[in-house]
Amino acid sequence: MADNYLEKRFAQYEARKAAGTRPRRRHTEPARPAIVLPTRHRIILASQSPRRRELLGGLGVQFDVRVIPDIDESYPETLRPEDVPQYIAHAKARAYLPSLAADELLITADTVVVLEGDILGKPRDRDDALSMLRRLSGRRHTVVTGVVLTPGDGQRQADFSVASTVDFAPLSEAEITLYIDHLRPFDKAGAYGIQEWIGFVGVRGIEGSFYNVMGLPVGRLYEELRRMGEIVEGV
């Protein structure tokens, strides 16, 4: 009975979400950001994540996406969990550096979920995703994103990490299974997306940046771009 109820509620949620994203304008011009920030370099986002693309686009900078497959994302076991995302972001930057032009600025990032000292990365499969959400249920965990900014003209790199604390309500087995089977969050650290259904029903509170939990701390990124002189003055 409970499973049928959840299935019905989830179907209603999906219908409302689809209706809310349906374009209402009659013309077909592509959407443009309300604010466009001129930058000194051409920004390159090295990420396949649609969430990072959305967040960077919302910041107002123009950028291109470049993806190199199969980058080694392994890390030394001696690293503190909180240091792993920045380590991997640096590894990604090194992979892109040979193809980076002098007029380009590369953004690389990595996000992990940390629970009691354990790193919960992207789940290997359905069983791994179920296991992760069972562990997160009813507990607080930390989401850490490491970001590296690499200018192609030889200027010094900038790097930083941002941590946010997420408080999960207790989740039933039916809720966990429903989410995993419908949204299949196998490309997300910790097996969940806070902007999805599980975040609506399961997250009791956040300390820190919501956008960091999504995968890119855009507020801090903006600060770093300004500090580097990347945002053209007068904006």
The residue among 114 and 234 whose pLDDT is bigger is 114
For residues 115 and 142, give the distance between their C-alpha atoms in angstroms, rounded to a whole number.
Answer: 7
Question: Whose CA is closest to 213, among 161, 163, 139?
Answer: 163
The per-residue pLDDT for 6 is 66
Instruction: Tell me: pLDDT of 113 over 70.
Output: yes
Regarding beta strands 158-168 and 140-151, do their DSSP bridges make them parallel or antiparallel, or are they unpaired? Answer: antiparallel
* pLDDT value for 232: 87
pLDDT digits (tens, 9 = 90+) for 132-141: 999 999 999 9
Beta partners for residue 114, in sequence order? 119, 142
pLDDT, tens digit, 9 for 90 and up, residues 34-65: 789 999 999 999 999 999 999 999 999 999 99
* Domains of the chain as residue ranges with CATH: 35-227 (3.90.950.10)
CA–CA gap between residue 197 and residue 194 (Å, rounded): 8
> How would residue 227 be classed by pLDDT, with cut points 50, 70 and 90?
very high
The pLDDT of 190-198, averaged and rounded, is 96
Catalytic positions, please? 110
Coil/strand/helix, residue 31: coil
Q: How far, CA to CA in Å, does 115 sit from each of 16, 81, 140, 172, 225?
A: 33, 10, 8, 19, 31
CA gap 126, 180 in Å, rounded = 7
Residue with tokens 């902007």: 195
179 near 192, Cβ under 8 Å? Answer: yes
Strand positions, DSSP E, the chain = 42-45, 63-65, 104-115, 118-120, 140-151, 158-168, 203-207
Structure tokens at 211: 């956008």
Q: What ranges make up the beta strands (E) of 32-103?
A: 42-45, 63-65
Query: 225, exposed or middle or buried, with CB in 10 Å at 0-12, 13-18, 19+?
Result: buried
Q: Buried b / exposed e across 186-215, counting CB within 10 Å, b at 16+?
A: eebbbbbbbebbbbebbbeebeebebbbbb
Q: Are the CB atoms for 158 and 149 separated by under 8 Å? A: yes
Answer for the pair 94, 132: CB distance below 8 angstroms, yes or no.
Answer: no
Question: Dihedrals φ, ψ of 143, to 5°?
Answer: -110, 125
